[in-house]
Structure 1
Amino acid sequence: MIGVTDIEAAAARISGHVLRTPTLPSPGLTDLLGVPVTVKLELLQRTGSFKARGATAKLLSLSEAERAAGVVAVSGGNHGIALAEMAAALDVKATVIMPRTAPARSIRLAEEAGASLRLTDDMDSAFRLVTTLRDEGLTLVHPFDDPVVAAAQGTVGLELAEDAGPLTDVIVSIGGGGLIAGVAAALRARRPGLRIWGVETEGAEAMSRALAAGGPRPVPLSSVVTTLSAPSVSQLTYDHVAALVEDVLVVPDREAVRGCLDLAEHAKVWAEPAAGCLLPAARLVRERVGDGARIGLVVCGGNVTTGDVRDWAERFGLS
């Protein structure tokens, strides 16, 4: 299990390379949800998401031989952008593998940062290809199955614990689970009375299916939210969620997209559906715990275009 000392060490390692993002009360979301809401704005992070933290920590931990070999990553969008940009900043050659369903902007940004881009038909084939390239000698920077990466994502939780006012519940989106594993470890150490909740979208249910099965299992993927679409969680992330997280909630894609629109209108932030799903989850949390809830939301990323959201809104009848 990742300990708070691991997360503190990660914070020291990445200091100066990433931002300490704002943690702020949101009057608009407080009015919308009817309970006090605080937002941790990781969409303002370098590369547009929390993924810069883990990518930077891993790159800085590599030996000279591992750096010289070049790094490779598989991504539904944000991890690929983060690795491409942070590797360029540290003068490391990067290869990024994404499914063709990844947001066009994410593909473009990774390529513009100088990464060698490989596109596959789906996430399953992307994970198979990254394993092949690792076996051929490239250094793998896994998006979540790595304690160095998960500890660095946990620095989000350290900052939230230090900067937020009183909270009862914190909600974190789950793809492969690296973010919630690190955040839960940090918050359990710094604010042990908090309840931590995960949220997934329907068709990207790797963690909730794992919890139901008693361990990681491959899952079919159909969600439009590619940044949450991991074909399986890892034992590392499963163990942390099973031990530290209250529950994992699952919401429809339509409600995640509606959440993007609500975040823009009420919180004045432009977020992707991986963050939009926090709002329907927050409504469910409030129903469970009552009006005394004081909710923290980790707004994980904002790498989405107006065209993407418009197209999803039309698809789900939200426009």
Structure 2
Amino acid sequence: MGIVDIEAIESAAELIAGHVVRTPTVPSPGLTALLGAPVTAKLELLQRTGSFKARGATAKLLSLSEADRAAGMVAVSGGNHGIAVAVMAGALDVKATVVMPKSAPARAVRIAEEAGALVRLTDDMGSAFALMSQLEAEGLTLVHPYDDPVVVAAQGTVGLELADDTDDELTDVLVSIGGGGLIAGVAAALRARRPGVRIWGVETEGAEAMSQALAAGGPVPVALSSIISTLSAPSVSQLTYDHVSALVTEVLVVSDAEAVQGTLDLAEHAKVWTEPAAGCLLPAARRVLERVGDGARLGLVVCGGNVTAWDVMSWADRFGLR
């Protein structure tokens, strides 16, 4: 398939403008003090639907033919992609079916249903992807969370905005990985606009689809055990693997407990309420700083905030965090 080019990302930016928020890119004094190096945060948790996923969902819906839209959409999701497809489909008057595992956040299910989508729950992520494929075979139009160049290009608009808003001041940018759509797009945008920047991916233990793909030389099915459903892809795609293997410095893996602690630290020090899929960036940032030494200036793509206070507190109790 090849790498998504900067022209495709710029076209996606034009397509989705007016439908999504151009989220703030801000220096974080609190995280700078905590980590001991300058930190800039791209606050994609302030996006419509609470995560970057609105970008890809909107671009895909807008790029479809009338016949494809009339057939209705199907999406599979651990939470955020489902919310995005449901809400953006509702806004564009398109029928959507969202398939989620029972482990998906109850809040995500509720929001998708309130937006008018039909939500189908399955036992786990593997069976969710299987049902998605079945519904696609029955005639629904697939909006894949990451195996689609249109979606990857639209997620890349996050990187385009980050490049435009930071000039040349960043040395290292950290991006969470589920199926890899966000990091693929961001890496493609930054490679074109800021070729000197190192890009680091972050996964949690038990949701290591990209790490295992890199070790195997291509996408492989992985066993999922992380509590973080929004990072839990049963495998990456060839498209996202190709981007990461070509463009990303390294993929770091942190524990669920570290990711939840990162969520608490982001609340306390950055004053933003994130989900652990973004919280995982903080422990990874400490490793990057150890690795690259003095002079690093970090950019964190804070991907989403779709989690309740109750969820975070129960995880914090479970892991004995204070």
TM-score, normalised to structure 1, is 1.00
Residues 97-176 of structure 1: pairs in structure 2 closer than 5 A: 97-165=99-167, 166-176=169-179
| Partner SS for 1:57 | helix
**Residues 178-227 of structure 1: per-residue CA shift (max 9 Å, x gap):** 00000000000000000000000000000000000000000000000000
Aligned: 1:263 with 2:281: no
Q: What count of residue pairs does the alignment treat as equivalent?
A: 319
Per the alignment, residue 291 of structure 1 pairs with: 294
Q: Which runs of 5+ in 2 are unaligned?
A: none
Equivalent residue of 1:259, what SS? helix
Task: State the partner residue of 1:207.
Answer: 210
The superposition leaves residues 279-300 of structure 1 with CA deviations (integer Å, 9 ceiling, x where unpaired) of: 0000000000012110000000
Q: Which amino acid aligns with 1:138?
A: L
The corresponding residue for 1:231 is: 234
Deviations 1:112-152 (A, max 9, x none): 11100000000000000000000000000000000000000
- 1:250 equivalenced with 2:265 (yes/no): no
Secondary structure, in 3 states, of the residue corresponding to 2:252?
strand
SS at match of 1:68: helix
Task: Supply the AA of the counterpart residue of 2:263.
Answer: C
Counterpart pick for 2:18 among 16, 23, 30: 16
**Structure 1 unaligned blocks of 5 or more:** none
CA offsets 1:70-119 (integer angstroms, 9 cap, x no match): 00000000000000000000000000000000111111111111100000
Q: 1:58, CA displacement in angstroms?
A: 0.0
Moved over 4 A (4+): none
Q: Distance in 2 between matches of 1:24 and 1:164?
A: 9
Matched, 1:217 2:220: yes
Question: Deviation of residue 30 (structure 1)?
Answer: 0.1
**Counterpart in 2 of 1:51?**
53
1:198 and 2:201 are equivalent in the alignment:
yes
After superposition, the CA RMSD in angstroms is: 0.5
8 Å contact from structure 1 (residues 24, 164) kept in 2: no
Does residue 73 of structure 1 match 2:112?
A: no
Q: What TM-score, normalized by structure 2, do the two folds share?
A: 0.99
Question: Which residue pairs with 1:83 in the alignment?
Answer: 85
